[in-house]
Amino acid sequence: MTFIPSKSFPKDEAGAPPERHLLAAVIFGLLVLTLALLYAGKAFGGSLEIRVKDHREAIGDFFRLEIIVDTVRINPKAGAKFWQTGWKDLKPSLEKVDLTQYVGKRSVTIFRGKVSQGSFDGIHLKLKEIEGVLKKSKSNAPIKDLLGPIRLAFSVYQKGETLIILDLVVTDMSDHPPRGYELHIKGYELFADGKLVDKVPPG
């Protein structure tokens, strides 16, 4: 019976087969590439700022009306299938805002930071809580949160600056019981590099 002699792998100076070093080099290369892509997404992204203000309606009823922001969500554009790509959560830079201080043309920044460049088609301001104190009675008034996701087409460009101002509005629906005060989004203003490019409602 003839035996086939076993063949041993040549070893390098460290005593390990060359294939093992090749595999380690490939894994290291993939790790470096992944980190480079992650860095590039931030380095070549653009600046996104999101501000809020309140439209003059029932806000005058309140001595204080504070919103506590949970997160600001933006939706990457994916063709016709709205809401189906997965939302990106942005951590707010300011969590608590008294809307009675930001009426008319005054607004306050709730997020500002670098975002990977791309096109987006929606925004959602998620709140943890709303606290309102009425002027007349000095008592707390329940306010229903109706800030759902809205369609808002915008882009973030490399080294560009995108600004979104959300126009909130408090309405008094007590003439239609059991409804009371409600918080809605009335519209928005969209700026690209300081220039107004879209406004809802127009005018």
Q: Is residue 79 part of a domain?
A: yes
Check whether residue 86 and residue 162 sit in a common domain: yes
Q: Can you give the C-alpha Rg of the chain in angstroms?
A: 27
Q: Is residue 5 part of a domain?
A: no
Q: Output the CA angle 150-190-171, nearest 5 degrees.
A: 50
Task: Tell me the pLDDT of the chain averaged across its residues.
Answer: 84
Check whether residue 63 and residue 116 sit in a common domain: yes
CB 155 within 8 A of CB 42: no
- Would you say residue 37 has pLDDT above 70? no
Check whether residue 90 and residue 175 sit in a common domain: yes
Q: Is residue 132 part of a domain?
A: yes
Mean pLDDT of the 156-164 span: 93
Check whether residue 57 and residue 123 sit in a common domain: yes
User: For the chain, what is the domain count?
Assistant: 2
User: Which of 94, 61, 71, 58 has its CA nearest to residue 147?
Assistant: 71
Q: Is residue 3 part of a domain?
A: no
Q: Is residue 37 part of a domain?
A: yes
Residue 23 gets which letter from DSSP?
A: H
Check whether residue 39 and residue 71 sit in a common domain: no
Check whether residue 169 and residue 181 sit in a common domain: yes
Q: Is residue 6 part of a domain?
A: no
Mean pLDDT of the 147-165 span: 94
What's the pLDDT score for residue 161? 95
What's the pLDDT score for residue 77? 86
Domain that holds residue 109: 45-200
* Residue 4 confidence class, pLDDT cut points 50, 70, 90: very low
What's the pLDDT score for residue 175? 80
What's the pLDDT score for residue 176? 81
Q: Which of 3-17, 120-134, 186-200 has the lowest mean pLDDT?
A: 3-17
Query: Strand 62-76 to strand 118-134: parallel, antiparallel, or no bridges (unpaired)?
Result: antiparallel
What's the pLDDT score for residue 3? 40
Q: Output the CA angle 56-146-110, nearest 5 degrees.
A: 70
Check whether residue 94 and residue 39 sit in a common domain: no
Q: What is the pLDDT of residues 52-98, one digit of tens each?
A: 999 878 899 999 999 999 999 999 987 545 555 589 999 999 999 99
Q: What is the pLDDT of residues 103-146, one digit of tens each?
A: 988 999 999 999 989 999 999 999 999 999 999 999 999 999 99
Q: Is residue 164 part of a domain?
A: yes
pTM (2 d.p.): 0.75
What's the pLDDT score for residue 178? 84
Q: Is residue 64 part of a domain?
A: yes
- Would you say residue 1 has pLDDT above 50? no
